[in-house]
Structure 1
């Protein structure tokens, strides 16, 4: 199975699980999902794949599900609940970073087999960690704000796709810009930095487009 086909299947599975947890556990399920997805995304992002002729990180799909979850919260319960979810995800991400940094300070036992693997995943460069935290907070807060503004301007259900795609695609552009500036600016030649930025956003743009049908499904739950 090619990476491209597997990526599409993986995206469908991820977004289906968001709608399932919302259908089963309601608003609380989305809060749990956002906390979990921020952690998993920062683990998966360490793996790169070749897809559509581009080199991309694997964490973009699960990271995109956090935007779907906040859009569902914004749509069904208002921007204050969506903001609370953003802060929950941010606190979860910081907690994971701090706890794993401390865990790596322990001297492993002679027969330990996990330390090097954990160091590869969690001993990230300070600029990358800072870029990830800032990009998440800035882009998610902007997503909540612009979704609420679009809902005021286009409140009818027929414009749900505009609210979803408009907020997420613009927010993902901001996310990619903040992350690439903080994490990589000055580390690569300008043309390479631009390629990394464009590749990152193209993948996130595709993820944002794929989540729209799942928002329509989720809107029907818990009326």
Structure 2
């Protein structure tokens, strides 16, 4: 029960920090948020927790705010700006992966062995996990932008924002989970275990997406003076 209650608080803190970032830093803050969230999500994913009787990884909450960010950029600034943010996040993820893998190759001093072990635990991802994360991010984020743009033409009323956001995110996160789980776990686990990981990951991401809808409405209402 602790994880459930603390998880709700954790999600609210994520949404609040997202709103603060946009309120004080505007569109530039949204790009910065994508970069920060991409890195943090890939660090948090190394920690497993149990909730509702299922074992799941952290990182899904802040990863979900990346979809929230691209939807907000698309809503207020257009598809081009949303795509730019996706490219920025992808570059951030590649840069972090390359730089940390290189950093791990340095021979540590004996006084730094504990730090080396901790860094290997967090950043020493197997190639399949790293590739799965990169591929899933790249495919799903651009898909989210395209679907949101399509839904924006069909459901263009202000009060239909929830349809545009949850519709695009729901489909793109399904693709995200399928791509990552297939690259990372296909052949490693049996298909029934693979399906359990896939479905629990997707359901959790979609719940977070729906829960973030009020934050999207609040952010859209901000009057931001851009430089």
User: How does the TM-score come out when normalised to structure 2?
Assistant: 0.97
Q: Which runs of 5+ in 2 are unaligned?
A: none
2:122 paired residue number: 121
CA-to-partner distance for each residue in 1:148-190, whole Å, 9 max, x for gaps? 1100111101111100111111111110000001111111111
Map 1:47-196 to 2 at 5 A: 47-112=47-112, 113-196=114-197
Aligned length: 223
CA distance in 2: counterparts of 1:149 and 1:17, whole angstroms: 29
CA distance in 1: counterparts of 2:24 and 2:157, whole angstroms: 26
Q: Specify the SS of the correspondent of 1:7.
A: helix
CA distance in 2: counterparts of 1:138 and 1:130, whole angstroms: 12
TM-superposed CA distance for 1:203, in Å, is 0.8
Deviant stretches of 4+, over 2 Å: none
Q: Specify the SS of the correspondent of 1:56.
A: strand
Q: Is the 8 A contact 1:60 1:203 kept in 2?
A: yes
2:217 paired residue number: 216
Q: Which runs of 5+ in 1 are unaligned?
A: none
CA distance in 2: counterparts of 1:23 and 1:17, whole angstroms: 10
CA distance in 2: counterparts of 1:28 and 1:171, whole angstroms: 24
CA distance in 2: counterparts of 1:85 and 1:68, whole angstroms: 12
CA distance in 1: counterparts of 2:167 and 2:53, whole angstroms: 26
CA distance in 2: counterparts of 1:88 and 1:76, whole angstroms: 18
Q: Is the 8 A contact 1:26 1:222 kept in 2?
A: no
CA-to-partner distance for each residue in 1:65-117, whole Å, 9 max, x for gaps? 11111111000000100000000000000000000000000001011120000
RMSD of the alignment, in Å? Answer: 0.9
